[in-house]
Structure 1
Amino acid sequence: MERLKSERNRLCAWLSEDPDYIVDHCGDILSVNECREVQKQTSASEKISVLLGIIINKGGGACQSFMDVLQQNQDHYKHLQQFFNNSAQGLITPKVVSDKCSVVSVNEVRDTRGKSFSNKVEVVSDPGGGLSGLVDGQVPQANYVATGGSVILADQISGVRIDGDIEFSVCVKPPEAFTGTVNETQTVPQGPAVRMITEHKVELIDCLRSDPIILQHAQARNIVTDMQYQDLKQTSGPTRAVTDLLDVVIGKGQETCDRFLQVLRGADVLDTYPQLRNILNIN
């Protein structure tokens, strides 16, 4: 089960090439209602995301049966053999490579409780910096490669109960700006996508609250993490869930906001929320 959780995003991408094929081979694992729940999803990635969620929630027995199905049908998916090759080689923890100006965070937090949780990362960008010992500019084989002042967060959090605030923050500063203590903050100008969502937030809430499927779209496109998706899904009331979703998206900055707007402009999303055409000025 843990391996399915840790590789969920990659499996979702690989199996989305032909979602119906793998669903058809899960007849002994899924109930009729569960199969219907998967098949009613509008996109390939959503089908696989829901499928994996159902199987993981069923526990170890279902997860092992699903692993057996994957192994039997790995030739059908061109990337799926990587999943079993890594397993055979005993790669339980990710391979990480980073230069001196970059950060890769792969912490694992499990079964704990606290009043607050904070994970702050701050690095100094150095586009000229690189990994030493490379031949002809080759990048080493690794699950996570961070260079030039980049940040990769691959933390896994499960079974955690926080009574107060949860804060994740990343700050990448140019060399000349890195002065003082790491607790100092730097104002980041808002990009056009951030402004667009912020300025139309009330209209978006009123539109998107009509159908909670927007949460699944956000999870399938990695706009929100699996943990954030579960929290949003359990939020009381559609209005609050959509409000919290938009707050999460805005908090992640320009790139995430731009990707979320691309999701909103998708044909399947526009069919569900026709009001978006007016809000986003789509002809």
Structure 2
Amino acid sequence: MSATETLKRNKTKLIEVLCGDHTFILNKVQEKKLITLREYNNLKSINKEHVEGHVIELVDKIMNKGEKTCQNFLELLQTDDVAETYPDLERIKLHDVLLKPVQATSPCSGDVVPEATKVKKDEVYELNSQPVGLCLIINNENFPNRKVKERRGTNKDAASACVVIAGMSAKETLKRNKTKLIEVLCGDHKFILNKVQEKKLITLREYNNLRSINKEHVEGHVIELMDKIMNKGEKTCQNFLELLQTDDVAETYPDLEHIKLQDVLPKPVPATSPCSADMVPEAKRLKKDEVYELNSQPVGLCLIINNENFHSLNERRGTNKDAESLADVFSWLGFKVLMCKDQTRDQMEQTLKLFASLHDEEKQLQLQELDVQEWCGRWLPAPQQPVRHGDAFVCCILSHGSLHRVSGVDSQPLAIKEIRRYFVATKQPALTGKPKVFLIQACQGDKIQRGVLQKDVEEDSLTSIPEEADFLVAVSTVEDHVSFRHPIDGSWFIQSVCEQLRLHCPSGEDINSILLRVNNMVGQKEGSICVGLKKQAPEVKFTLRKKLILSPRLT
């Protein structure tokens, strides 16, 4: 349901609740810049006999400003200070609207906010111990062999790791920077006092006391305020640091950027348990340069190499089920799906090199020679139109395999590392800077996994990227171990991938998060009636630089 429709449905109840303090919500709306200063002054000065009239005018103004403003207003109503001022808001259903719908055309056409999905207890590791755990840092700087250079700068790395892992407290950060902070905040001591009270870091009584203290110099007022904040404990110090990093405060005190206030983590994780109740992750806005743009039609190519019948190895029964599931789900996600069946090692190499360099008519003819077919819903003709890369590339290889290799139907191995190298940025500009995802269903050895029962470098280049960037390789099992496949239902890994893509792509979840779910799903499966005798754990490696969000396309 749209934000505008949600407000429309709940308008009467909302007005009734907001009448409890109509000036507070008016000020919050203006503070969040949902209305202009002129509109704020007009609303503040309108002549209405009853409070209800003021609130009606405000809600109407918000609804007339369109979907984005309505969305931002709904988010404002769910912030802590607003919810605390109007406790009856929790009785109104304002959650029928997603925080931001993911655009089917391009997740980057503006800021994207993934759906705030609730994290269930079995989807997040519980970190309840005190301390959370041990962090061992092995820091090698000086080497006896004179030919090996001293690793200058490594102590800075070790120190930074200590700060992040151990986490300097907010109170300690304020204490270390107290003198500099006082000097900066003296620039406008009344502004910071008002902001601190507005954010309810101090009570109204404390605010009035601080405002009326008899100090000859401005510095004395700021010192009293700082001491009051620090005496209130870690949580208040944390909130004060966050306040100092807000736009209006940073704009008022530009010299704040010269003070190191980042040594403390943004928000401490509750020490008790993040799973004691359903936990909602912060709705983090993704900027345009934080997510891959997928604007092409089709989104890109999805190549499926499906090896079933081998010259000397066992037939891979169930692999056709995997191939069909992959073809269905990636067609649904807007890809052009192309399939190859029963290829030798050399044919696989030729096919992959060909797809890495698709750009002329000669290459199109080679597709026919390698018997590349296009998925058209259970039937496989030759490609009807020229095959060209879009904004992403997916390659699925279903075969037998050994350590770090996949096998052709002639049992000859092709190294996974070599497959990646065909597509590196320096060699194939058509895919430079674009995400390349490899899903590999193949054994990586002959061992069977058992289960365990639970108890100063500066680079100023504006355009270059690492040649090995933008890859994601997900292999169905860890090295040295087998990968399980049902002769009718298909493999554990591929079927889990398809199921999780279908479940979570519509809500805007990124591919890395979805593959975490796949790892969990595969890890829960049993390959024997005896619990823990035959298990499987997929392995994911990536050099992606951004979030990769695949969205269903309308057909």
TM-score under structure 1 length normalisation:
0.39
**Which structure's residues are more often strand, by fraction?**
1
Larger helix percent: 1
